[in-house]
Structure 1
Amino acid sequence: MVRRNGVRWVWALLSACLAACHSASAPLGQDAYVWQRQWNSSVVTALGQSADLVRDWRVLAAQTDARGQLRPVATDRAALAATHRPVILVFRIEGQLVQWDEDALLAQIQALRDSWRGYPLAGIEIDHDCGTARLPAYAHFLGRLRQALGGLQLSITALPAWLSSGDLDKVIAQADEVILQVHAVQSPRAGLFDDALARVWIDRFAARSSKPFRVALPNYGTRVAWDSDGRVVAVQSESPVLVGGMEASELAASPAKVATLLSALRSDRPKGLSGIVWFRLPTPQDERAWSLPTWRAVMTGLPLTNRLAALFQDGAVPGMVDVILRNDGDVDIGLPHGIQLPVGCTVADGVNGYALSSRNGQLFLQRSQDGWLRAHRQRAVGWARCGTGKALPVIAP
Structure 2
Amino acid sequence: MLVRPSLAIVLATITAVTVSACSAASNTPPAETPAPSTASATPVSLPVAEVFDAPAWGIRFSEAAAHKRPLVTAQRLIMLDGQQVRALDAQGKDAWATPWEGFTDEARSKGSDGYPLLRQVSPDVVAVVDGGTAQGDGLNKDTGQVKVTLMKVQDGSLIKQVTIPGTPSQIPQIGSLGLGFALPQGGVSAITPDGDVVDAPTVRSMKTTSGISVGRTGMSVWESGGSDAASGFSGPGWDSRTSGPGPRFTSASVLASDADRLLVGRWVVPSVSTKEVQIQVLEAPTGKVLSKPSCEPRTAAPLVSSPARSWQVLGPMRLDSAGKATCFGGGSGQKTVTLTAVTDAGRAFGMASADGSQALFLDLAPNGDITTLAMPEGAELPIGVMDGDIAIHWDSNEAIVTGNKIH
Greater share of helix: 1
TM normalised by structure 2 equals 0.28
Determine which structure has more spread, i.e. the larger CA radius of gyration: 1
TM normalised by structure 1 equals 0.28
Greater share of strand: 2
